[in-house]
Every structure is written in C-alpha cells, then in structure tokens.
Amino acid sequence: MPSHKKPFIISEYVRWGDIDLAGIICYGAYIRFFELAETEIFRAAGLPFKEMFDRYDMWLPRKIMHTEFFSPALLDERLKVVTYFSRIGNTSLTINFDVMSADGVLHATAHQVLVCVSRSTFQKMPLPAEVARAVEQFVMAPEEARKAA
C-alpha cells in the first residue's frame, strides 16, 4: 500500500553571504538551510522550538552531522530543502535534508542525529512520546521523500 506521507519542504535563495570566491555556495552555508528547515518542520508538526523545549524541559543537540555534496548551487538560485525524519529512536531522531534546485538537480544531502537531553544536566533522556507522535507524519525513507518532492 503506498504511503500518503509527504516530506516538509521549504524554499530559500542562495544569498550573497552563502557564496565563496568561486561564486558558488560555500559548504558551510548549507547549515543555514538545514537550520531553517529543521525549525520549520518542528513548527509544522505543532512543536515550535520554544514551546517544545519549555514543555518537555529538554534540548535536541546534534550528535552526528553528515553532508554529501553533488552539484554547486549559484548566487540567487532558489533551492528547495526537502526535510523528513528517517528514524525515531528511544532518545534520538534522525532528520534528513535533500537540497535541490527547482528543476530537480540534487545539490546536497544531509542527515543529522538529534539527541534528547535534559536542559539542566545535558544527560540523555527518553524522547517524549508526544514529540515522537508529532513528527511521525514526516517519517519516511530517502527514496520515498525524493519521489514525493
């Protein structure tokens, strides 16, 4: 049975501050795209960061950040960031980002592992069930997400 899930997608331009001397997007600029997409996928799931972190007394710092680059993006190019979760664990989430041009050229892919920790001790803690349920709508395999984008 086919899934009716869809990835979360934002659109953002490559800005002047994103490019290097070669005139292409600098690898570090992708972090800005990932951060925007992450903030908005949680908001779309009904979990704006401030409310979520206050309600559950937790943070979601990164344990792993992995990015692969395929094709350079240029100044003023409008990119879409296809965002989804590939894994919900007991204490962590794996969030994925596929950065594409409007015509489907894949510029970069990334995944990050976010670990749930206590705000006061920074010790690992269980991911709240409500958070897992809220993001479940965006859980899919990379192939599924890219096809739906």
State the number of CA atoms in the 13 A half-sphere of 100 facing the CB: 16
What does the pLDDT read at residue 149?
A: 85
Least confident range of 88-92, 103-107, 122-126: 103-107
Angle between helices 30-44 and 49-56 (to 10 degrees): 70
DSSP character string of 1-52: -------EEEEEEPPGGGB-TTSBB-GGGHHHHHHHHHHHHHHHTT--HHHH
Banded pLDDT at 4 (limits 50, 70, 90): confident
The pLDDT tens digits of the residues spanning 21-66 come to 999 999 999 999 999 999 999 999 999 999 999 999 999 999 999 9
What does the pLDDT read at residue 2?
A: 52
The helix (run of H) or strand (run of E) holding residue 32 is helix 30-44
Q: In angstroms, how far is the first alpha carbon of the chain from the final one?
A: 19
Query: Under CATH, which number does the domain 8-148 receive?
Result: 3.10.129.10
Banded pLDDT at 17 (limits 50, 70, 90): very high
Q: Token pair for residue 6?
A: 């869809």
Q: For residue 81, which of 95, 92, 93 has the smallest C-alpha distance?
A: 95
Banded pLDDT at 148 (limits 50, 70, 90): confident
Residue type, 14: V
The pLDDT tens digits of the residues spanning 64-89 come to 999 999 999 999 999 999 999 999 99
pTM: 0.94
Q: Token pair for residue 149?
A: 């984008």
Q: For residue 47, which of 122, 137, 125, 118 has the smallest C-alpha distance?
A: 137
Q: For residue 108, which of 8, 33, 2 has the smallest C-alpha distance?
A: 33
Phi and psi of 93, rounded to 5°? Answer: -130, 145
